[in-house]
Structure formats: C-alpha cells, structure tokens
Amino acid sequence: MAEPRALLRALFDAAVAAADPAKVLAGYLPEKPAGRCLVVGAGKSAAAMARAVEAAWPDVDLSGVVVTRYGHAVPTTRIAVREAAHPTPDAAGEAAAREIMEVAASAREGDLVLALISGGGSALMTLPREPLTLEEKIAVNKLLLKSGLAIDDMNRVRRRLSRVKGGGLARAAAPARLVTLAISDVPGDDPEAIASGPTVPDPTAAEDLSHLIARLGPDLPQAARRLLEAPGEPQEDFTPDYRLIATPQASLEAAAEAARAAGVAPVLLGDALEGEAREAGTLMAGIARAVADHATPAPAPAVLLSGGETTVTIGAEPPGRGGRNTEFLLALAVALDGRAGIHALAGDTDGIDGTEDAAGALVGPDTLARARAAGLDPRKVLAGHDSYSLFEALGDLVKTGPTLTNVNDFRAVLVLPQR
C-alpha cells in the first residue's frame, strides 16, 4: 500500500478526474442541431465545459457566452468567456448575466440553446430582481455566507432575489429548445439548487420565506426583506431537458475504486454530509475510532469517503483564515488527539476551500504535536476559525490551483491497522 498521504492525494485526484468536463461532457450532448447552437452558462466549470463543447462539435454553428470565476478561464474560439467574482458577486458578474440573458433572448424557434451550469454559478451570474440593487445583493450575499444557513435555504433566498435564477434563463430562451448540461455540487443533485436553478422551475416560488429574514440579521436591506416576504416570479409549466454530466456520488465512487485497487476497503458515507464543519470533524473521528477499535463498519485498512457541503458559522469576533475543509480537518485532529494510524484529507474539488488558495489539507497522528512545537494552540486556532494558518505553518495544505470542475467537498479518512 502507498504511503498514507500519497494514497489520500491519489483518491482526491481520482475524484476530481471523474468530474473533468473534457472527459465526460461529450457523452451527454444532444443530437447536433441543424441550425444555430447558442451556448450560455455560469459556474466554476463553465469555461472548461465550453471548451469541451467546442472540441466535441467542431462542425456546429456555435456562439454564445459563459461566465466563470476569476482565474478559471480557458482559451476558447467560438464561445466567449467572461470572468467575475466568487463567492461575493461583483459588477462583472452582473454585466455577464445581462449578456447571457441577451444571448438566450435572441434564440429563435429551431435554435438549440445549450446551458452549461456548474457550482458557483449563483454568485457569478448575478442579476438582481428589482428593486434590489447590485450593492444590496452583494450585502445579502455576505450575510448569507456568515449566516450558517443550510445550502438549500441559501438557494431559496438567491432564487427569490434574482431575475436569472429559478428558471429565469429558461424563460428568456423560450421558444427555442433548451438543453442543460450540469455538474452538480449540491447534496442530492437537485437541479433547482445547482447554481440556484436558472433553467428549471422554482419549486419554492410561492413559499413564504419571511422566516429566513431573522436568520440574515438586522442588516438585511429593506428591498431584500420585501422580496422575501412576497411571492417569486410567475412560473410557467415546463419539463426541462436537464442532464447531469458529473456528480459528487460519481466522484466518490471513482475514489472508492482507486482505494480498492490500493488494497484499502472503501466505506462510502454519502455525498450529502452537512452541518457545522467542526461538528462533522468530531463525528468523523468517532467513526474512525469505531473502525480502528471494532472493525465497524469495516476492518482496517479502510477509508471513510464522504461528500457534501458543511458550513462554518462565524461569531462576533473577526475570523482568521480558513475554509470549511480545513476547519473540518482541524476539528477531526483535535478529536482524535494524536490517535495512531489515522490520516485524513479534505478538500474542495474546485481547488479552492472558501476564499483561500488551497483546496484543503492533510492531517495525521502527528498534526497536533507538530502544531504545538510550532507554538500553535490547535484548540485556540479552531475557536478563531484560523485553520488555514495552522496548516500553512505545518506545510500540510493541499494546493492544486483551479481544477476547472466542482463536485463540492471531498473527505477521506484513512484508518490503518493498529500496531
């Protein structure tokens, strides 16, 4: 068996490779259109997906525009690529959203509109619903990121406050045929949650969302408050042609296959682990101990694989540097307290954990001892949400750069036979 850290990194790489648009997108394309194909899209994978469409359809009349995160653009020849900010929207994202909606609205009957949607598209394709302004939308987004709300509730708010989300892009493209190719980054792969569902009806359009106002706090702009108290955009009855080309579960299964090939039993805990990152780390430590002590749910050597999106709730004190994956790992290490034979990696498959320049990090039995030797108090660091700084000091960050895909977080906890 490979060295623990090398094995964990190989599992992470297998998960990312399973969601590479260059490898998977072509198999999900519809029949080539006889006429024009207008391509629109948004997300961290949008540019890579656009390049994959161009490679698969060299003889199709392609044009259009997609928006991706700064630093995630790739060269294309027929589909324009715009860049904007994530996770906090900016004016470039609003301008790109207007351009995307104009392209969709220019579609005629007989055209094919191909929508390329991936995680991050919600922030990148920002077009506030009136009377909300961009500045107010940015303020709401900041409140969402520190609210501790589950991703489903965040998306409810985002759809209500947007002209493009919750089916807005689909309404603009009518009456042309619309096909969506999507990379899922959400638990359950719900189309209305991926980039807040720009090409599918909003199932919560008629819901009263006023109960979420208190969770967003007193700084919520009045325009946003009024929109959350009012119904959403009118919903037309249509059945979307929506094709998932990559999912968190498929990436976990690819990692599981790599683990088996290395002689390690994979235990898939699902792609929908949610809740506070530090609490998830403590929980995962307990499961790892059960493997080590009782061979439950599998005997060592085994690796616990999970996906999904945890949250980090920030208190009144200014936080340090960190993301949900490094916070999960530090909580895991604290709970394990140097337990021998247990190693872990957690990272965001897009290559960026939160707003930092690392995908995640690695921990092992020596993590806490090395941190204390470096003058760091792991529990104090965890309380201050400064996990990135600790792993940076130890040289344990996992840095991949933008991976040009995004199937949410990947966590692997390796349990070796106890000596």
- Residue range 196-201: mean pLDDT, rounded: 95
CATH number at residue 39: 3.40.50.10180
Contacts of 181 (CB under 8 A, 6+ apart): 25, 28, 29, 49, 114, 115, 116, 117, 243, 245
The domain of 230 spans: 23-246
Same domain, yes or no: 33 and 57: yes
Task: Please report which helix (H) or strand (E) contains residue 308, including its range.
Answer: strand 302-308
- Chain centroid to CA 338: how far? 30
Q: Which of 230, 246, 262 is the last residue of a domain?
A: 246
Phi/psi region, residue 244 (left: phi>0; alpha: psi -120 to 50; beta: rest), is: beta
Same domain, yes or no: 143 and 10: no
Same domain, yes or no: 233 and 259: no
Shortest CA distance to 347 belongs to which of 335, 339, 356, 338? 356
- Residue range 131-143: mean pLDDT, rounded: 93
DSSP state of 147: T
Query: pLDDT tens across 291-325, in order?
Result: 999 999 999 999 999 999 898 878 767 788 989 99
Query: Which pLDDT belongs to residue 138?
Result: 93
Torsion 363-369-375-376 (CA) sign? positive
**Range with the lowest mean pLDDT among 90-104, 138-152, 376-390?**
138-152
Query: pLDDT tens across 358-387, in order?
Result: 999 999 999 999 999 999 999 999 999 999
- Residue range 269-287: mean pLDDT, rounded: 94
Q: Classify strands 397-398 and 360-363 as parallel, antiparallel or unpaired.
A: antiparallel
Is the pLDDT at 1 greater than 70, yes or no? Answer: no
Q: What 3-state DSSP class applies to 13? A: helix
Euclidean distance between CA atoms 105 and 82, whole angstroms: 18
Same domain, yes or no: 146 and 278: no
Considering its fold, how many domains does the chain have in total?
2
Contacts of 19 (CB under 8 A, 6+ apart): 183, 246, 247, 250, 251, 349, 405, 406, 407
Mean of per-residue pLDDT scores for the chain: 94
Same domain, yes or no: 290 and 308: yes
Same domain, yes or no: 268 and 202: no
Asked if the peptide bond before residue 21 counts as cis, ω within 30 degrees of 0, the response is no
Q: Which of 246, 269, 285 is the last residue of a domain?
A: 246
